[in-house]
Amino acid sequence: MRLRPVAGILLRQLYLFRSSPVRLLPAFAWVAIDIVVWGFLTRYLNSVAGNQVNFVPTLLGAVLFWDFFTRIMQGVTTAFLEDVWSRNFLNLFATPLSISEYVTGLVLTSIATSFVGLVAMLLLATLAFGLSFMSLGAMLVPFVLVLFLFGIALGVAASAIVLRLGPASEWLVWPMPAMLSPFAGVYYPLDTLPVWMRAIGYLLPPSYVFEGMRALVNGGAFSGISLLLGTALAVLQVVLAGYFFSRVFRYTIRTGLLARYSAESVG
């Protein structure tokens, strides 16, 4: 893999943000709305429960973690969709650009944009509602890593779906995090789910993060083995997503779909 083409993909996205700063607005606006709404909700629940339960680290912390995952996933797909909207695929792949270099550029773009949103989330949640992740200690690093890896995997897989089905299928991308959240146990333990939903939840790496976060915040026992399992699942899914994208790309090349990708749908 060459670094120069990867840097070119990243630089193109940075030029887009520089030419149109309003593109950065979603990184702040939706995050701020989520933090404010859930922050005041946790304050209300704390006032009802008294001093018995503190909902800030469990609910607001879950919101922040899930928003971070969503920003990672959408950072990849949005950078990919920029090429879809501008009909730029033929220009990119007329150059000696490999799939691994292109996907790596999308991932680096996601890291850059998500970092901005993460800083905004942390500042707002900490200053306005007193949320502190220091209680998680060193476990904060693997928690964030698992969410990051799964966000990358889902973003690459979603981009492959759009590449295969055509630009009109982009509506499939945006609801993906919301569709997965009931199975991942973002706001409640997996034990509350029916058996069939719980089975799906155990295949989702974020479920191990949220189970571990709740255990640590509530002073309960936490199994490091379960987090290792979540990490292994996330790594495996990143590999599978990359393989899926490369197979779809080769299919579009072999069948000539890439050359007519400006159409609203691809048969």
Query: What are the pLDDT digits (tens) for 103-158?
Result: 888 888 888 877 777 777 778 877 777 777 666 666 778 888 999 999 999 999 99
**Domain definitions of the chain by residue range:** 3-260
Res 135: pLDDT: 61
Three-state SS at 130 = coil
CB-neighbour burial class of residue 55 (10 A; exposed 0-12, middle 13-18, buried 19+)? middle
Distance CA 184, CA 176 (A): 12
Cβ-based neighbours of 58, under 8 Å, separated by 6 or more: 213, 214, 217, 218
Q: List the structure tokens of 120.
A: 């905004």
Convert the pLDDT of each residue in 172-219 to its tens digit: 888 899 999 999 989 888 999 999 999 999 999 999 999 888 888 777
Tell me, rounded to whole angstroms, the distance of Cα 218 from its chain centroid: 26
- Which of 3-17, 61-75, 127-141, 225-239 is the least confident region? 127-141
Q: Is the pLDDT reported for residue 244 higher than 80?
A: yes
pLDDT at 41 over 80: yes
Say if residue 265's pLDDT is above 50: no
106, two tokens: 């999308």
Q: Residue 254: its pLDDT value, please? A: 83
